[in-house]
Amino acid sequence: MRLAVHTGSTTYDKNVATLAGDAINQVEQLESRLTKPNTVTLSPGAHSDLGAKLSPFFKPFDAGPRTKLHRFEITWEQ
Protein backbone atom coordinates (compact mmCIF):
# COMPACT_ATOMS: atom_id res chain seq x y z
CA MET A 1 0.00 0.00 0.00
CA ARG A 2 1.15 3.56 -0.77
CA LEU A 3 -0.80 6.67 0.08
CA ALA A 4 -0.04 10.33 -0.58
CA VAL A 5 -1.97 13.28 0.85
CA HIS A 6 -1.87 16.84 -0.47
CA THR A 7 -4.04 19.90 0.01
CA GLY A 8 -5.42 22.10 -2.72
CA SER A 9 -8.55 22.91 -4.65
CA THR A 10 -10.08 20.83 -7.40
CA THR A 11 -13.49 20.50 -9.00
CA TYR A 12 -15.70 17.71 -7.72
CA ASP A 13 -17.02 15.23 -10.28
CA LYS A 14 -18.93 12.01 -9.60
CA ASN A 15 -16.74 10.33 -12.21
CA VAL A 16 -13.33 10.22 -10.49
CA ALA A 17 -11.67 9.34 -13.79
CA THR A 18 -12.29 12.90 -14.97
CA LEU A 19 -10.85 14.70 -11.92
CA ALA A 20 -8.14 17.13 -12.90
CA GLY A 21 -6.27 20.12 -11.59
CA ASP A 22 -2.96 21.12 -10.03
CA ALA A 23 -3.75 19.48 -6.68
CA ILE A 24 -4.62 16.18 -8.36
CA ASN A 25 -1.48 16.29 -10.50
CA GLN A 26 0.72 17.08 -7.50
CA VAL A 27 -0.64 14.28 -5.32
CA GLU A 28 -0.32 11.86 -8.24
CA GLN A 29 3.36 12.78 -8.63
CA LEU A 30 3.89 12.64 -4.88
CA GLU A 31 2.49 9.12 -4.73
CA SER A 32 4.15 7.71 -7.84
CA ARG A 33 7.63 9.21 -7.40
CA LEU A 34 8.20 9.75 -3.69
CA THR A 35 5.96 7.37 -1.75
CA LYS A 36 7.57 4.07 -0.84
CA PRO A 37 5.60 0.85 -0.32
CA ASN A 38 3.88 0.65 3.08
CA THR A 39 4.11 4.39 3.74
CA VAL A 40 1.91 7.47 3.88
CA THR A 41 3.53 10.63 2.47
CA LEU A 42 2.28 14.11 3.28
CA SER A 43 2.90 17.36 1.45
CA PRO A 44 3.93 20.32 3.65
CA GLY A 45 0.39 21.71 3.62
CA ALA A 46 -1.19 18.40 4.60
CA HIS A 47 1.34 17.94 7.41
CA SER A 48 0.68 21.41 8.83
CA ASP A 49 -3.06 20.62 8.91
CA LEU A 50 -2.58 17.49 11.08
CA GLY A 51 -2.25 19.19 14.42
CA ALA A 52 -0.11 18.37 17.42
CA LYS A 53 -1.51 14.88 18.12
CA LEU A 54 -0.73 13.29 14.74
CA SER A 55 2.19 15.25 13.31
CA PRO A 56 4.85 13.62 15.56
CA PHE A 57 4.17 10.24 13.89
CA PHE A 58 5.36 11.60 10.52
CA LYS A 59 9.11 11.89 10.00
CA PRO A 60 10.48 14.62 7.69
CA PHE A 61 12.54 13.74 4.63
CA ASP A 62 14.08 15.76 1.83
CA ALA A 63 12.47 15.28 -1.55
CA GLY A 64 14.74 17.64 -3.44
CA PRO A 65 15.84 21.25 -3.26
CA ARG A 66 13.59 23.23 -0.92
CA THR A 67 11.10 20.36 -0.64
CA LYS A 68 10.52 18.75 2.74
CA LEU A 69 7.86 16.07 2.93
CA HIS A 70 6.75 13.87 5.82
CA ARG A 71 6.40 10.10 5.90
CA PHE A 72 4.78 7.54 8.17
CA GLU A 73 5.85 3.92 7.82
CA ILE A 74 3.08 1.36 8.21
CA THR A 75 3.86 -1.78 10.19
CA TRP A 76 1.59 -4.72 9.44
CA GLU A 77 0.73 -7.16 12.19
CA GLN A 78 0.87 -10.86 11.38
Q: How confident is the model at residue 54 (pLDDT cuts 50, 70, 90)?
A: very high
Per-residue confidence (pLDDT) for residue 18, from 0 to 100: 79
Alpha helices in 9-51 (DSSP H): 22-29, 44-48
Per-residue confidence (pLDDT) for residue 30, from 0 to 100: 94
Q: Encode pLDDT of 4-33 as tens digits.
A: 999 988 887 788 777 778 888 899 999 999
All residues at 6 or more sequence positions from 70 whose CB lies less than 8 Å from its CB, including other chains: 41, 42, 44, 47, 55, 58, 59, 60, 61
